[in-house]
Structure 1
């Protein structure tokens, strides 16, 4: 499957496709999932945003029983336009089990360079079965807090607002642990007041036409929203795990082995 907006530069997309093909050939890996992460997939790109392609790769079964396994990360040259790298499936599964929201977000990206829908759905099903809501909540809470410690810019505020929106989504979906990836969907599905959504949309529009969205004060309604959601999310810090760790590891092992050729 492929889902690439027509707004993306065709030459850039072609270079990402080339890099993915080169990685597959040179490292003898299969790439069942390659997507865009970062601000473009989060729904608030700037005109000069780079391209953050992330992919999951799978090596041969023999590789995973070798005494000298290769690195579990593959990187391509980084420059001002391209940031293309990926994780081994084994690393991805372990991180999902630990509650790393980044690994899960890759499966919810609206921009897909190449992908096997069955692979995505299977890994999402595993995440639904094993992920601790408390771990996901802590992930987004800590990301927001860390971003708040840096210089206060409108650009940085987006990296606080999106985790806050994810925390709100978790609050309004008590049976789920895998939030959407993009900010506008999080707000739409998070039962957020209209004035919050309107203020966020206006700020997204400003960012889309400004190469460097620098200093300035975020709208008060968004500041209040962030503060409220982070305070409410403090409960995740002391929330006990709900899943049986033995069962979780067994499910993860079963899934991982099913993906090996």
Structure 2
């Protein structure tokens, strides 16, 4: 994390908050830097959750629930409105959980992340979260094994991370969600030594080179990934969100919206769609 880049991201977030008239509840680094396997040329994936003024929140014509900065080779900055983040949490989308657990914060309202993590422990459904990671596995299995002789090798990490997540959930039946960090996931499951050696070799290369390039998936990794993916098929099942969880989530949304909403602002004109 380069100090100059971090300072620039914080400056851009401050400008965005003023321009859009929002409060940023928290902003963190996501992507490979937070997951634990960056490359020298990894961009910065800043993610945030924001709250609009009450007049723009309690309306029949709400503004967009996503905000973003123009994408560049260095900066990828975007965020969700709080209601969107909570609805996706209820549906088992693990992205917001990863944001909440990121080790790199650009800024946050004191107490907010802890409060939302506590909510996640109450309303998060491990079955839905496991399902999220299973289908992420399926997506990356398709990408990596479309042509296993000429796969972009860095994509293997985007397959292994959700694969380790479902294995971690299998190994920790009382947990609601797995760690976001790749190394913490590895530490919490049993992985054959030969597989560990291959992963360590690729990690070392990825940390030193700008591009791993294309090549054949190491056979020991290919065999392990496909067998583990087959065993994870039970995560396709999901359960519906019960009413009690919706009530808790709605209560949290109302409380923090009222606490964080910018005040003294005029109503944004409705769009003529």
Question: Does TM-score exceed 0.5, indicating one fold?
Answer: yes
- The aligned counterpart of 1:246 is 243
- The aligned counterpart of 1:5 is none
* SS of 1:181 mapped into structure 2: coil
Equivalent residues, number:
252
- The aligned counterpart of 1:164 is 163
What does 1:44-63 correspond to in 2, within 5 Å? Answer: 44-63=37-56
Shift of the alpha carbon at 1:142? 1.1
Contact 2:47 2:79 in 1 (8 A): yes
User: Segments of 4+ in structure 1 off by > 6 A?
Assistant: none
* SS of 1:149 mapped into structure 2: helix
Structure 2: gaps spanning 5 or more residues: 260-273
Shift of the alpha carbon at 1:61? 2.4
- Structure 1, 220-229 or 123-132: larger mean CA deviation: 220-229
Shift of the alpha carbon at 1:193? 4.4
Q: Distance in 1 between matches of 2:80 and 2:109?
A: 16
Q: Is 1:200 the equivalent of 2:195?
A: no
Q: Distance in 1 between matches of 2:21 and 2:196?
A: 45
Q: Distance in 1 between matches of 2:41 and 2:187?
A: 27
Shift of the alpha carbon at 1:28? 1.5
Closer, same or farther in 2 for the Cα pair 1:124/1:194, shift >3 Å?
A: farther
- The aligned counterpart of 2:268 is none
Q: Distance in 1 between matches of 2:158 and 2:241?
A: 33
Q: Distance in 2 between matches of 1:251 and 1:195?
A: 46
Bigger Cα Rg: 2
Shift of the alpha carbon at 1:195? 4.4
- The aligned counterpart of 1:129 is 122
Q: Distance in 2 between matches of 1:156 and 1:244?
A: 33
Q: Distance in 2 between matches of 1:244 and 1:94?
A: 10
* SS of 2:209 mapped into structure 1: coil
Shift of the alpha carbon at 1:194? 4.6
Shift of the alpha carbon at 1:244? 5.7
- The aligned counterpart of 2:215 is 216
Closer, same or farther in 2 for the Cα pair 1:230/1:51, shift >3 Å?
A: same
Closer, same or farther in 2 for the Cα pair 1:137/1:9, shift >3 Å?
A: same
Contact 1:179 1:186 in 2 (8 A): yes
- The aligned counterpart of 2:263 is none
- The aligned counterpart of 1:259 is 256
Structure 1: gaps spanning 5 or more residues: 1-7
Q: Distance in 1 between matches of 2:134 and 2:82?
A: 26
Shift of the alpha carbon at 1:220? 3.7
